[in-house]
Amino acid sequence: MSQTKGPEIEFPCHYPIKVIGDHTEDFAHEVTRVIQRFDPGFDPASMTAQPSRNSRFISVRVAFYAASESQIRELFEALKATGRVHMVV
């Protein structure tokens, strides 16, 4: 008899992600703008940014308030839809 697994993440929660894109002056602002559509209480001061070794790319780490798995998927899609995000982890 197989048991159904429950969700591995308990919602709501603060969900950490890393967003990677081209290193431009306003990349972090663009990431903030998208995240605030999904989490209006998101504090941009909690964001950390790290340029790549050659400064061609930048990775931005954030933790946002996630209410559901579908919200996380929608946020990932919205970030990718900017055309500026290479990867969301």
Of the candidates 50, 32, 49, the one whose C-alpha atom is nearest the C-alpha of residue 41 is 32
Predicted confidence band at 8 (pLDDT cuts at 50, 70, 90)? confident
- DSSP-derived letter for residue 52 is -
Q: How far apart are CA 30 and CA 35, in angstroms?
A: 9
Q: Is residue 34 part of a domain?
A: yes
Range of the domain at 83: 13-88
Q: Is residue 21 part of a domain?
A: yes
For position 31, which CATH number holds?
A: 3.30.70.260
Give pTM, 2 decimals: 0.88
Number of domains forming the structure of the chain: 1
Bigger pLDDT: 69 or 3?
69
Q: Is residue 36 part of a domain?
A: yes
Q: Is residue 33 part of a domain?
A: yes
Cα 6 from chain centroid (whole Å): 24
Q: Is residue 3 part of a domain?
A: no
Q: How far apart are CA 8 and CA 85, in angstroms?
A: 26
Q: What pLDDT digit, counting tens, does each position of 29-67 carry? A: 999 999 999 999 999 999 999 999 999 999 999 999 999
Task: Find out whether 62 and 31 touch, Cβ atoms under 8 Å.
Answer: yes
Asked if the model's pLDDT at residue 1 lies above 70, the reply is: no
64 CB neighbour count, 10 Å cutoff? 22
Q: Is residue 82 part of a domain?
A: yes
